[in-house]
Amino acid sequence: MQLVGSTLSTLVAAISLLTPPSPISCSPPPHPRHDLQPQQAVFSDSPVTLDETSTTIPSRYYSTLLARRLLAKSPTGDLASVFPANISSGPYWRTPESVASAPIALPEYIADCESTGSPTLIALDVSTATKNAKYGDSTNVSITVSWWDQYVKLVGREPWTKADLPRLALLGYLEEISDSDVNDHGIVACFEVLHRDARLWRPGSRGSAHSGKWARVKVEEAYWIGGFGDRHYIGWLDIEEWRRVTEEEWGRVRLPGEKL
């Protein structure tokens, strides 16, 4: 009996040596969210301002304020459009036929010159996005902005991860800005505050290097990624809320790295 017991002990010890250790998680253990009250929805849509110490995920409304501020503080954005299904030889001279129906995104100068959250840009006749909107199968475009570069300029260093910084996608179509709107909204002065060099090719500039028109991305939908989903709102914004937000409202919120 003693021999059998000794043999069993030896087998158990051998098996334990062959069994691989449990994997070690690099993520911290989850903590219960005691700060959330029963009446608080994680994605609340009520226009309640959250203080910075709260761990509740910001509401859609508060995120809309952040998104409008991000647009106002963004001098550039990536403008995406779609090539038509049939590439003609006219405006698409030297364009490969293989890009038919393909999307393309290119950086553009932008400025937030109107109160409704539709960014202003210069639609040059030579611009790919302008040609796609004018001659393509769809006038739809989208423009994306992020806080990645602006954050580095503010704090003087790279963040520990850019994935936790805000970005925004605005979907709509290109629309020419009328001469009266250009004057009423001070489009030229507003745009040149951010882009003084644009006077060399902007519409109406004497000796402009290119022909073009003032245009807006008429925003129909807005998609917001505030950062990591466990602490920021991610999702579609209400377009009516987006258009109603005032400069006074978005002026009260701050993006990462900004000081009050």
Q: Measured on CA atoms in the order 143, 190, 213, 175, is the torsion positive or negative?
A: positive
pTM for the structure as a whole: 0.77
Tell me the pLDDT tens digit for each residue of 75-118: 999 999 999 888 876 677 788 889 999 999 999 999 999 999 99
Task: Tell me: pLDDT of 255 over 80.
Answer: yes
Residue type, 111: A
The answer to which of 67-71, 117-121, 133-137, 147-151 has the lowest mean pLDDT is: 133-137
CA angle centred on 79, ends 77 and 80, rounded to 5° = 145
> 3-state DSSP call for residue 247?
helix
Q: Looking at residue 89, what is its pLDDT?
A: 60
Report how far apart, in Å, the C-alpha atoms of 2 and of each of 6, 118, 199 are: 6, 86, 97
What domains lie within the chain, and their CATH numbers? 54-250 (2.30.110.10)
The answer to which of 24-38, 124-138, 148-162, 187-201 has the lowest mean pLDDT is: 24-38
